[in-house]
Amino acid sequence: MSLQQSLAIVLQVKDHGDSDKIVTLYTLEHGKIVLIAKGAKRSKKRFVNKLELFSLLVIHFVPSRHSSLMRLDQADLQDPFPRLRENYELYIAASLLCELVLHWTREHDSDEVLFRLLVWALEGLSTARGGAKRTIIFFHVKMLDILGYRPDLTGCLDCRVLGAPGVLYRFSPLRNGLVCSRCELQATANSQPLSIQTIQLLRRVQDMEQGKLERLHFSLAATREAIALLKRYDNHLLQREVQSWGFLG
C-alpha cells in the first residue's frame, strides 16, 4: 500500500525489543494509531528527538491490511513544544492531556475537532496563555462534549432545580449529572459535593469558545472541585486510573 501522511501528536512511546519503538499517536486524519518505528532505538539519526511525548509531527507511514501494527516510515518535527519540557507543572499538564486522549479515544476513529483542541491546548500551555489547570479543565470539559459525554449540569436530575436556597448539590458520575439534597437524602457512593460556583463555572466552560478562556475567572476552590470531579468522572467511565492526575500538584 502507498505511503500516507498525517499531522500527529505523540501520546505514548514504548521500547520494543532491542532496536524498535512502539509509538501511539493521535492523528488528524486517522485518529489514534499505533505504529512501530523500526530501528528507532538504534539508529539515532532517523527519529532523533522526534518521538517524544506530545511533540507535533508530520508522519509518513505505511498502512497495513493484515496487522494492526503499522510501520512508521518517517517523522518530521513541526513543534516539539520545548517550554513544556523545561517546567515540571507544564510537563505534567501536557502529559495529562495526552493520557486523556490516549484512554478516551478508540483506534482509527478520527475527530478533527478533538485533534485541533489538543494542539490548541498544548500551544496554550506552551505560551502560558491560560494557566495549566484552567487549560486542563477547559480541555477536559470540551473533550467530553466532543465525545458525547457532556455531564448534565443544568439542574438536579430529579427536580430540575438549580440554586434553591439551602440546598446542596452533588455530582453523580453514575447518572452523569447533579442531584440535590432534597431529592436524595443520602449521598450515593462515588458522588461528589459541588458548589454552585463550580457548577456555574463548568457550565460557562461548556458553552464557551476556545479563544475566550482567558476571560473566565477560576477561583482556587472551584479549580480544586472541578479537577476532583473530572478525575472522578474519568475513573468511573474509563474504569481505570489516569496516572497523570496523581502528579498534578
Q: Residues in the site for Zn ion, rule: CB under 5 A? A: 156, 158-159, 180, 183
Taking the least distance from each CB to Zn ion, the nearer of 39 and 177 is 177
The length of the chain in residues reads 249
Q: Residue 194 Cβ, how far from Zn ion at the closest point, in Å?
A: 13
Nearest to 142 by CA among 133, 151, 155: 151
Q: Please identify the residue of the shown chain whose CB is closest to the bound Zn ion.
A: 156
> Secondary structure of 46-91 in the HEC alphabet?
HHCCCCCCCCEEEEEEECCCCCCCEEEEEEEEEECCCHHHHCHHHH
Burial track 92-110 (b if 16+ CB lie within 10 A, e otherwise): bbbbbbbbbbbbbbeeeeb
Residue 59 phi, psi dihedral angles, 5° rounding: -105, 150
Taking the least distance from each CB to Zn ion, the nearer of 89 and 184 is 184
Q: Residue 9 Cβ, how far from Zn ion at the closest point, in Å?
A: 41
**Distance, CA of 210 to CA of 52 (rounded, Å):** 26
Q: Residue 236 Cβ, how far from Zn ion at the closest point, in Å?
A: 21
User: Cell 472541585 identifies what position?
Assistant: 225
**Distance, CA of 7 to CA of 217 (rounded, Å):** 33
Q: Residue 161 Cβ, how far from Zn ion at the closest point, in Å?
A: 6
Q: Residue 158 Cβ, how far from Zn ion at the closest point, in Å?
A: 5
Q: Residue 2 Cβ, how far from Zn ion at the closest point, in Å?
A: 58
Taking the least distance from each CB to Zn ion, the nearer of 53 and 183 is 183
Residue 15 phi, psi dihedral angles, 5° rounding: -70, 150
**Distance, CA of 78 to CA of 249 (rounded, Å):** 30
Taking the least distance from each CB to Zn ion, the nearer of 5 and 200 is 200
Taking the least distance from each CB to Zn ion, the nearer of 71 and 170 is 170
Taking the least distance from each CB to Zn ion, the nearer of 80 and 177 is 177
